[in-house]
Amino acid sequence: MTQNLRAGERDLLRDVRPGDRWLVAVAHPDDETFGCGSVIARATSLGAEVTVACATRGEAGEPTPGSTGDLGAVREAELHRAAALLGVTRVELLGYRDSGFDGAPPPGSLCAAPLDAVAGVLERLITDLRPAVVVVLDGSDGHRDHRHVRAAVHAALAAAPTGDGAAEGTPQLYEHCLPNALMRRWLDEMRSLRPGTAYHSLDPADLGRADEDITDVVDGSGVLALREAAMAEHRSQASPFDGLSDELRRAFLTADHLVRVAPGSALLTGGRADGHAT
């Protein structure tokens, strides 16, 4: 599979070796599939052993019409089924409640937990797994749980022992993101599909990650059917790609974009962790 890369971009999967351990840290069930499903599917197909650490069970999500039962339990089961399709070796639930998008974080929720507490849980997992690669969503979609997990991953990696833990010492961190150019196309379609909504007030410059920040692009065209099957397991949640034109939907699902974070960078040692590049 070959993805057209711009100058300076690469494909992190070119370095994958069978048996490499990866950690993918997410906030909610479905983030692993709607977010970085192609990365996971490609990595496992190359022999990587991927663990998904999910901070919550997604209790505050909006269920699709007709969904019944305890939403957290339903979404946890969906996570396990989707992860199995993607080839995930292990799923770890961190035990926090979904914070919801806004308002005061409920007791026991992810954003009610101190950052160092969440980072400590992830640091212990990183020490146990000794992954070569860690992937986290960059949080630029604005969801506070995504930002909290991202900040906790950065803090955990800054504190985790290095030595001979990972294949080459400190795990390599990648932030999965949506490029601004793609999000501008999405905004244009949303404004057309849903006139009169809040989409009209969004500033296109604030959407996604700056295109020049992107360091790696993973071609997902060869695992598209597998990713679609995994997405279908999250039937209690509406897909963020529903209603998009076929062209734009394919653009989202056949290329995953990531930012490689250099070890020792400001992001890992107290710099901004709000979803924007420093």
Residue with tokens 């990587």: 48
Report if pTM > 0.85: yes
Look at residue 5 in the predicted model and tell me its pLDDT: 56
In terms of Cα–Cα distance, which of 8, 12, 7 is closest to 218?
12
DSSP 167-228: TTBSPEEEEEE-BHHHHHHHHHHHHHHSTTSGGGG--GGGSSB-GGG--EEEE-GGGHHHHH
Look at residue 6 in the predicted model and tell me its pLDDT: 58
Look at residue 272 in the predicted model and tell me its pLDDT: 40
Look at residue 1 in the predicted model and tell me its pLDDT: 45
**Cβ count within 10 A of residue 109:** 21
Look at residue 203 in the predicted model and tell me its pLDDT: 87
If 0-12 CB within 10 Å is exposed, 13-18 middle and 19+ buried, where does residue 167 land?
middle
If 0-12 CB within 10 Å is exposed, 13-18 middle and 19+ buried, where does residue 240 land?
middle
In terms of Cα–Cα distance, which of 49, 48, 45, 75 is closest to 60?
75
Residues in the chain where the model's pLDDT stays below 70: 1-9, 162-169, 197-199, 263-278
Look at residue 256 in the predicted model and tell me its pLDDT: 96
All domains of the chain, ordered by start, with CATH? 12-178+210-262 (3.40.50.10320)
